[in-house]
Structure 1
Amino acid sequence: MIYKIRIILDAEEDIFRDLEIENSDSLEEFHNALTQAFGFMGNEMASFYTCDQEWNQDEEIALFDMGENGSDVRLMNETVLEDVLSEKSPKMIYVYDFFNMWTFFVELADIVEKEDGRTYPNVLFSFGELPDSPPEKKFESKPSIDFDDSFGSYDDLDFDENWN
């Protein structure tokens, strides 16, 4: 089967790509198609994240395992697209280049039969140009936790500076 997927840059302006890819391809193959479709070199770290219907991030699926002794993180080359993207869970988040945090919303749009003579992955539609730098993220301006900064003086604490 062929997945038709829309990948949208997390930005105010509309920038997206529609791709077709085989549901049996790995997430690494999808990552390669996605980076090419948006014009990235593909040489930066990246991860997919499963998510719920409201785009709340869940499990990470990384390009490489960066743990020293191996870890429990799922890897793109070991994960098949149809195992994480389906009609029941049609959304994922993709982050490319962790220093710049290019963030994309990935959504399964349709599942169709494979067409003879067509090569996959295939860019169906491209809209908008990627900006020179990633869109700024808007974070809360006020922390959600109130800190009690009415603390008077460290002299009031029973603290032994020669403790060791």
Structure 2
Amino acid sequence: MIYRFRAILDTKEDVFRDIEIEASSTMEDFHNAITQAFGFAGQEMASFYVSNEIWEQGEEIALFDMGEDGDSVRTMSETILEDTVWADQPRLLYVYDFLSMWTFMVELAEITDPEPGMPYPNLMFSHGEIPEQAPEKEFIAEKIDGEGNIDDDDDDFDLDADDYEDLDFDENWN
């Protein structure tokens, strides 16, 4: 079977690659296909993370096992793609170069039969130019209400940072 994936760079601009790969390939083969499709040298650390429908980071599948004291993780070279991704579990997060944090949302788009004579992996489609530097990440803490739902009400405090008169402290306290 052939898996068709879309790997989307987490950036404001649309930058993605559509990649075909054999379902029996290793996650390391898939890592190599993604790095080549985006023009990376492939010499940096990387990990896949199993993800859910809202792109939460789950179990890690690392390029190398860096665990200590028996805390090992699954490695890409020992993990088969079809054992990690399937129709009901189609999403992965992929992080390349932990210093720069190139982050990709990878989703299984289709499972199909191989085309005779087609070499795999195969870059099917390329859209957008990868920026010179990894996009900056904006980490925003989300408030969770008592029922475990995200609380979008940002008017809880309604403070103006420039209005010191309403604050209950002396601004020259030291």
Shared fold, TM over 0.5: yes
Which amino acid counterpart does residue 64 of structure 1 have in structure 2? Answer: F
* Structure 1 unpaired stretches of 5+: 145-164
User: Could you say which residue in structure 2 is the equivalent of 1:151?
Assistant: none
- The CA deviation string for residues 10-34 of structure 1, in whole angstroms up to 9 with x for no partner, is 0000000000000000000000010
- The CA deviation string for residues 117-149 of structure 1, in whole angstroms up to 9 with x for no partner, is 100000000000110001111112x796xxxxx
User: Could you say which residue in structure 1 is the equivalent of 2:36?
Assistant: 36
Give the length in aligned residue pairs.
144
Distance across 1 between alignment mates of 2:90 and 2:69: 33
Distance across 1 between alignment mates of 2:106 and 2:68: 30
User: Could you say which residue in structure 1 is the equivalent of 2:2?
Assistant: 2
User: Could you say which residue in structure 2 is the equivalent of 1:86?
Assistant: 86
Which amino acid counterpart does residue 96 of structure 1 have in structure 2? Answer: Y
Per the TM alignment, residue 69 of structure 1 is displaced from its structure 2 partner at its CA by 4.8
Which amino acid counterpart does residue 9 of structure 2 have in structure 1? Answer: L
- The CA deviation string for residues 43-94 of structure 1, in whole angstroms up to 9 with x for no partner, is 0000000011111111000000113455320000010001111100110000
Distance across 1 between alignment mates of 2:142 and 2:8: 28
Distance across 2 between alignment mates of 1:118 and 1:129: 26
Structure 1, 101-110 or 60-69: larger mean CA deviation: 60-69
Whether the 8 Å contact between 1:65 and 1:71 is mirrored in structure 2 is: no
Distance across 2 between alignment mates of 1:8 and 1:67: 29
Distance across 1 between alignment mates of 2:37 and 2:70: 31
| 3-state SS of paired residue (2:132) | coil
Whether the 8 Å contact between 1:6 and 1:108 is mirrored in structure 2 is: yes
| 3-state SS of paired residue (2:30) | helix
Mapping 1:130-149, distance limit 5 Å: 130-140=130-140
Which amino acid counterpart does residue 92 of structure 1 have in structure 2? Answer: L
User: Could you say which residue in structure 2 is the equivalent of 1:63?
Assistant: 63
User: Could you say which residue in structure 2 is the equivalent of 1:159?
Assistant: none
The percent identity for this pair of structures is 59
Quote the RMSD (CA, aligned, Å).
Answer: 1.5
Distance across 1 between alignment mates of 2:110 and 2:117: 20
Structure 2-normalised TM-score? 0.79
Structure 1-normalised TM-score? 0.84
User: Could you say which residue in structure 1 is the equivalent of 2:108?
Assistant: 108
